[in-house]
Each structure stands twice: as C-alpha cells, then as structure tokens.
Amino acid sequence: MANKKRTTLKDIGNVLNISPAAVSKAMNDDSRISDKTKTAVKRVAKDLNYQPNHLASALRKGKSNLVGVIVPRTNSNFFSSVLENMEAVLNKAGYNIIITQSNESFEKECQNIDTLLYTQVDGIIASMANETVDLSHYEKIKANGIPLILFDRGENDLNVDYVGINDYDSSHIIVKHLVEKGCKRIAHIGGFRRTRIFNNRIKGYVDALKKNELPIDDSLIIESSLTLEDGRREMQRLLELANRPDAVYVASDYAALGALQVLNERQIHVPNDIRLVGFGNEPFTSLVSPSITSVAQHSKDIGRLAAEAFLMHASKDEIKQSLNKIILDAELIVRDSSR
C-alpha cells in the first residue's frame, strides 16, 4: 500500500486559491493577512491533517528550538531524573528535547550524533557510552559550531562544559566510612579506566587505601561494565579468593545489587561478614534487604545545571569567555549493608 502523501502549504493554498507564501503567513499570524483568511487557512490545515516541517523551518530560520540529549540508558533513575529536570528548564526557555540512548555502544552513540546533527538541533547535551574512546564524533559537533555540554561522563580533552560529581573524593568518602567500620581488605568493582569517572573512582579508591595505610591488592580491583550480571560474576570471583575481602565498594548500584544477591544466596551475612557500598542511590537501594549504602549523585542539580549551561551558549546576549566546569560534592547515604 502506497504511503499517504504529506500535506503541504501548496495543498492548502490550492483549496483556498491563495499562494503557499500567503498560507505560511497566515499560519504564523502575520499582521498583513486578514483574520478571515487566517481562520480559513487553519481550518483547511486541520481538515487536511497538515503537519509543519520542522526541519525545513529550522533550515530557514537557522534555529530549531530543539536540544538533543544522549544518555547511556533511560532505565536508570539517575538518568531519568537528569532528563526530567533538564527538560523542565529547557521547556521553560522555549526548547524541546530529543532523547536518544546509546545503550553503552560507541557505534550507536555515533549514529545518535549523526541523527541529531541532521535534525538541526541547537545544541547537544550528552553522557558518554562505556565503549567510547575515540572522540572524533564529538569533535564533529564542535566543528559544526553547535554547543556541546557533557554531564556525568565526559572527557576533559574535548574542552567543553561539564557537570558532574567529584568521583575522586567520592571514593575517599566510601573508603573512610568502611575503615571506620573496621574494614581492612576493601575490594572495588569498578567501571573501565578508559571512562574518566570510573578512572577517577579507581584512583580515589587506591589513594584512599594508601592514606589509611592499607595494602593495594590488584586482585581486589576489578573493571567491568557494571551490569547486575557483572556484579554477580565478580562477587563470586572475590568469594573464591583464599583471602576474601571484608568489604566491597561497587561503582554502580545495579552491580551492587547483583553482588548482594550472591551474598544472600550463599548466606554470607551483610554487613557482619562483608560490608557493601554501591553508587548512584537508585530507588531500589532502600527497598532490598539489607538496604544498600550508596552515593547520591545529585541528579536534579546535574540536569538543571547542564540545561542552564546550554542556555548560556544559546543566549544572543551572552558572550561566553570561559568553559563551565561544575563539580558537585557527593553524599554518602549510609544504610544497613555497611552500618
């Protein structure tokens, strides 16, 4: 079956015997067009189910009032909260957002950027995929003169605005908390070092161990994709060590949940036998048994500040002289798993 032809301004004009230019003016409430003609044009447009071509309009005006947003995944409370607060700020300023997700795939992230550039977005706000190492697709955004703001995950080499928490200090806070509870052999299930935030968390963990005069054991430092399955697998591996840890710091609540499942299945008491700390303060951390100690990432503030950073670039009156690097302090939410 053939696709239904899209209604154009010319189609509306043919019905009313006026030019497409007059139709366009009427649709935009031009003062040179009579109210009678405006009413007729809008009635015919509705009858013909006319949909404006926003891409063509953006090309004509040089502005689409659209902001592209790239997140690794949307099924995370952190990212959904960031999006909600980001959208609230941008909507109030007259912008709509187009949400894309990379699913932690470098290839999908590249496709997302190409799609957003084709759509003529006025800016892109992004959190990088775990797989991303090559930054050339982000350089393409800058080369097109489009504002780029990174949040949570980003690379300093791009020299763009960034909003996130202090991942290095977060690890110090976690290790300090566990040491105060008497832990001496603390494992870290982290993300990949190639991603700045996870590299900073690993660095902070190692330096915090040194500060507290605890030995550095490479068998206790694990890099992974931080899925629930990764948490299960790596927790099982840690439990098989001859000298297993007395605490595990996991750089994601989802992986921490997987680790907790294994500990519960093996009837290893948390926190008496092994203490556990996650990262992200996902809603489920307070609902599982035992509840999981975690780090709050201030998602509401990150969403708002990232949107405001874009608006500073978009403002015609604002001459931006320097990059905006906003690093928020993390907050440890202590629960039963490490109490």
Same domain, 243 and 320: no
2, part of any domain: no
DSSP code of residue 119: T
Torsion of CA 153, 129, 245, 205, to 10 degrees: -20
The reported pLDDT for the residue numbered 289 is 93
Same domain, 139 and 31: no
The reported pLDDT for the residue numbered 60 is 58
334, part of any domain: no
Same domain, 200 and 117: no
- Cα-flanking dihedrals φ and ψ of residue 149, to 5°? -120, 130
* CA–CA dist 128, 83 (Å, integer): 15
79, part of any domain: yes
* CA–CA dist 92, 292 (Å, integer): 36
pLDDT band at residue 295 under the 50/70/90 scheme: very high
Q: Sheet of 123-126: strands edge to edge?
A: 96-101, 66-71, 123-126, 148-151, 161-165, 325-328
Same domain, 138 and 234: no
Specify the number of domains making up the chain.
3
The reported pLDDT for the residue numbered 53 is 64
Q: Could you give the C-alpha distances from 16 to 11, 19, 234, in angstroms and in order?
A: 9, 9, 70
Query: How many residues in total does the chain contain?
Result: 339
122-157 per-position pLDDT tens digit: 999 999 988 888 888 999 998 888 999 999 987 667
Average pLDDT over residues 236-264: 96
* Residues of the domain holding 134: 64-164+299-327
- Give the DSSP per-residue string, 296-331: E--HHHHHHHHHHHHHHHH-TT----S--EEEEPPE
The reported pLDDT for the residue numbered 178 is 97
Same domain, 200 and 287: yes
90-111 per-position pLDDT tens digit: 999 999 999 999 998 999 999 9
Here the tokens at position 84 are: 């909600």
Same domain, 42 and 157: no
Pairing of the two strands 331-333 and 294-296: antiparallel
| Residue 320 in this model has a pLDDT that exceeds 80 | no
Same domain, 132 and 182: no
pLDDT band at residue 63 under the 50/70/90 scheme: confident
Same domain, 69 and 190: no
Same domain, 274 and 152: no
158, part of any domain: yes
pLDDT band at residue 191 under the 50/70/90 scheme: very high
* CA–CA dist 184, 148 (Å, integer): 43
Here the tokens at position 174 are: 């976690």
| Residue 319 in this model has a pLDDT that exceeds 60 | no
73: left (phi over 0), alpha (psi -120 to 50) or beta: beta
At 91, which CATH number?
3.40.50.2300
The reported pLDDT for the residue numbered 2 is 45
Average pLDDT over residues 5-34: 83
Contact 150, 70 (CB under 8 A): no
Same domain, 78 and 23: no
Of 277-281, 309-313, 334-338, the poorest mean pLDDT is in: 309-313
1, part of any domain: no
The reported pLDDT for the residue numbered 8 is 81
| Residue 80 in this model has a pLDDT that exceeds 70 | yes
* CA–CA dist 104, 252 (Å, integer): 14
Nearest alpha-carbon partner for 181 in 286, 307, 271, 71: 271
Nearest alpha-carbon partner for 254 in 75, 71, 69: 75
Instruction: Spell out the residues 6+ positions from residue 123 whose beta carbon is closer than 8 angstroms to its own.
Output: 67, 68, 146, 147, 148, 149, 310, 313, 314
Distance of CA 20 to the CA centre of its chain: 42
